[in-house]
Amino acid sequence: MLCQLALSALALSASAVASTSSTVDTYVSSEGPLARAGLLANIGPDGSKASGASAGVVVASPSTTSPNYVYSWVRDSSLVFKAIIDQYTTGQDDSFLDLINDFITAEATLQHLTSPSGNITTGGLGEPKFYVNETAFEGPWGRPQRDGPALRSTAMITFANHLIANGNTTWVKDTLWPIIQLDLDYVSANWNETTFDLWEELQSSSFFTTAVQHRSLREGSALATAIKETSVVSGYDTQADNLLCFLQSYWDSSSGYIVANTGGGRSGKDANTALASIHTFDPAAGCDAATFQPCSDKALSSLKVYVDSFRSLYGINAGVAQNGSVATGRYPEDVYYNGNPWYLTTSAVAEQLYDALTVWNTTGSLNITSTSLPFFQDLLPSAATGTYDSSSSTYTTLISAIRDYADGFLAINAKYTPTDGALSEQYSKANGTQVSAVDLTWSYAAALTAFSARNSTKYASWGAAGLTVPSTCTANPGSTVSVTFTVEKDTSNGESVYITGNVDALQDWNPTAALLMDDKSYPNWTVTVKLPASQVVEYKYLTISNGTVAWEADPNNSISTPAKGTLAANDSWQS
C-alpha cells in the first residue's frame, strides 16, 4: 500500500510538472510576439504609445497619472535596447537596425544635455531620466544614478563588436567609440562615489550598479584594444580590478546572500542581485563566484534567500510549498503602491535559473558546495556537497527539478497576464490584478530575455572568465577640486556650525560626523574640502550645542563643482 501511495504521489507530481511546462510553452509562444509589440509601441517616433517621443527614445510607460512614467530613463532604455541589440546581433530579428541607429543618435543627444546633474563635463552623465522629446527634466529626483552610463555603454559595445566582426571597424572607431568612451570614462572616474540604487530610493553603493560597472569597463577595455584606442586600456583595467574587488564586499557569508545596498537600513534582500546576475551573465565564465554568475554557489544561495522572503508576504503565494515557485517583488520592505510582485522581478528569477541550466548543460556537470547546498536541498532533500556529472542520477534529477522550478516563475506571470498580453509594472499581492504603470517597457523586455534564456540562447563573452580578485581593493579617488564653504551665522556660547552633504567628503548627511567649520572670521564660518570634480553636490549647515543638533531650513544648498581648479560657496544661514 505504501509503495502504491508513493507511486501515486510521483505520478501526480509528474503530471503537475508536465502541466506547468505546457503552460509555459503556451505562454512563451503567445506572449513572445505580444511582448515584442508592446515594447516597440513604446519607442519613438513611430510607436503607437510613444506619442511625442523622439526617434530612438524609449518611453518607460504611456501611463500619464498615478504614476506618470512618460519619461525616458537611461537605465530602462539601455536594458531595453540591450535586448533589442542581442536579438539583432544573433540573427533573431533583422528588422531592428534602423531602430538601433536611432537609439545611438538619441542617447548621444542626451549625453550632451545640461541637466540638474550637470553637463557633459560636470556630472551630467549621472542624470537618470529625461523628457521623451530629448529635453532635460529639472524637477527633484534621486540624483545621480551611476548604472545608466555602464548599461548604455554595454548595449552599444555589443553592437560595436558585431559591426567589427562584419568589417565595419571604421564606423565604430569614428562614430560609436566617442559616445561609448564618454560613458566609460564616467564609470572609471566615479564608480566609487555614492549613487541612488536601482529603484531610485537609497543613496549608497549598490550591488547592481557595481556589477554592471565592472562589466562595462572589462568589455570597454577589450573594445578599445580592438580599435587601437589603447591610451584608455590601462586605466579601465585598473578600475575594473578595483570594482571586482569591491564587488566581493556585498557578500554576507554569515547570512548566505548578497546584500544589495550598503546603506538604507533594509535587509538587503533585493531583486537587485538576481538582476545583476542575469545582466552580467557570461556563458564562458561557467559558475564563477567572483562575478556572481547565475550558477555560482553565492548567486544561487542569494536567490534562495531572496525568493524565500516573499513566500509568506503575498496573499497570492499562500499555500505554496517551500520548493514551489512564488511571485516576487523588489524587496520585502517595499511600500511603493503597497508593495507588490513585479513581472520583471519574477521573470528575473526564472532567467537566472535558465542561465544556470545553460551552463550546466554545456559543461555536463553540476557542483554543490556548502554555500549552495540549501538551494539544492529545497529541490532534492537528499542532495549533498560534491560534483555530479551528467551520467549521475543526482545531476539528471536536479536539472529536471530546476527546469520545472524556473518554469514555475513564468507560469505565475502567465497566470496574471491578461489575454491581450499587456504587462504593467506590478500585479496585486492580494489577487493578481495589474497595479501601477501600464505597459511598462522594461516588463516587456524582461519577458523577452527570460524567454530567450529558456531557449538556452547564448551571447558572446564579455570577459568574466579567468579573472582574479585583487588581494586588496584600491578606491579610485577620481578628480577632486578644492571648495571653500562660508556661511554667516550668529551663534550662542558653546554652539558651533557644521556642514554635511550628499558625498563621502561631506559625510553623506550624517550629522554625527559632520565637518566642524572654522569661526576665525566670525560671524562667518568656513571650511575647505576636497570634493569630486564635475559633480552636483548638495549640502546643508547645522549647529550643534551640548549634543543638540539644529539644521538650517530647507531647501538643500547646491553647487556644481568644476572639472578642475577651486570654488568658493558663500551662503547665508537659511532660517
Q: Which amino acid is at 159?
A: F
For the residues of 33-85, what is the DSSP string, one character each?
A: HHHHHHHHHTBTTT-TT-TTPPTTPBPS-S--SSS---EEEHHHHHHHHHHHH
- What is the predicted pLDDT for the residue at 4? 47
Alpha-carbon 356 to chain mean position? 19
Domain 1-455 identical in fold to domain 480-572: no
| Pairing between β-strand 566-572 and β-strand 480-488 as defined by DSSP bridges | parallel
Q: Which amino acid is at 63?
A: S
- What is the predicted pLDDT for the residue at 205? 93
Residues 210, 187: Cα–Cα separation, whole Å: 10
Alpha-carbon 107 to chain mean position? 19
3-state secondary structure 524-552: EEEEEEEEECCCEEEEEEEEEECCEEEEC
User: What is the chain's pLDDT, residue by residue, as a tens digit (575 residues)?
Assistant: 434 444 444 444 555 566 788 899 999 999 999 999 999 999 999 999 999 999 999 999 999 999 999 999 999 999 999 999 999 999 888 899 999 999 999 999 999 999 999 888 888 999 999 999 999 999 999 999 999 999 999 999 999 999 999 999 999 999 999 999 999 999 999 999 889 999 999 999 999 999 999 999 999 999 999 999 999 999 999 999 999 999 999 999 999 999 999 988 899 999 999 999 999 999 999 999 999 999 999 999 999 999 999 999 999 999 999 899 999 999 999 999 999 999 999 999 999 999 999 999 999 999 999 999 999 999 999 999 999 999 999 999 999 999 999 999 999 999 999 999 999 999 999 999 999 999 999 999 999 999 999 999 989 999 999 999 998 888 766 667 889 999 999 999 989 999 999 988 898 898 988 999 999 999 999 999 888 887 889 999 999 998 899 999 999 999 988 877 889 999 999 98
Q: What are phi and psi of 570, to 5 degrees?
A: -110, 120
Domain 1-455 class, CATH top level: mainly alpha
Alpha-carbon 558 to chain mean position? 27
Per the document, the length of the chain is 575
Dihedral sign computed on CA atoms, order 249, 255, 261, 263 = negative
Closest by CA position to 302, among listed 370, 249, 246, 372? 372
Residues 537, 568: Cα–Cα separation, whole Å: 13
Return the residue matching grid coordinates 500500500. 1
Alpha-carbon dihedral 337, 338, 343, 346, rounded to 10 degrees: 150
Calculate ∠ Cα 26-30-36, nearest 5°: 140
Closest by CA position to 466, among listed 206, 262, 255, 244? 244
In contact, 497 and 517? CB cutoff 8 Å: yes
| Pairing between β-strand 129-131 and β-strand 71-73 as defined by DSSP bridges | antiparallel
Binding residues for substrate: 141
Return the residue matching grid coordinates 517551500. 322
Return the residue matching grid coordinates 527634466. 137
In Å, the largest CA–CA distance within the chain is 93
- For the chain, what are the domain ranges? 1-455, 480-572
pTM across the whole model: 0.84
In contact, 216 and 184? CB cutoff 8 Å: yes
- What is the predicted pLDDT for the residue at 17? 61
For residue 478, count other CB atoms closer than 10 A to its CB: 16
Three-state DSSP state, 201: coil
Residues 348, 346: Cα–Cα separation, whole Å: 5
Q: Any alpha helices (H) in 423-513, and if so which ranges?
A: 441-454
Instruction: Cite the active site residues.
Output: 197, 200
- What is the predicted pLDDT for the residue at 8? 46
Q: What residues are paired with 483 via a beta bridge?
A: 529, 567
In contact, 136 and 115? CB cutoff 8 Å: yes
For residue 198, count other CB atoms closer than 10 A to its CB: 24
Return the residue matching grid coordinates 503575498. 314
Return the residue matching grid coordinates 564635475. 534
Closest by CA position to 190, among listed 249, 149, 237? 149
| Terminal CA-CA length for the chain | 82
Residues 158, 384: Cα–Cα separation, whole Å: 39
Question: Per CATH, the architecture of 480-572 is what?
Answer: Sandwich (2.60)
Q: What are phi and psi of 289, to 5 degrees?
A: -85, -25
- What is the predicted pLDDT for the residue at 477? 62
Closest by CA position to 502, among listed 165, 142, 213, 246? 142
In contact, 124 and 118? CB cutoff 8 Å: yes
- What is the predicted pLDDT for the residue at 16? 58
Alpha-carbon 329 to chain mean position? 14
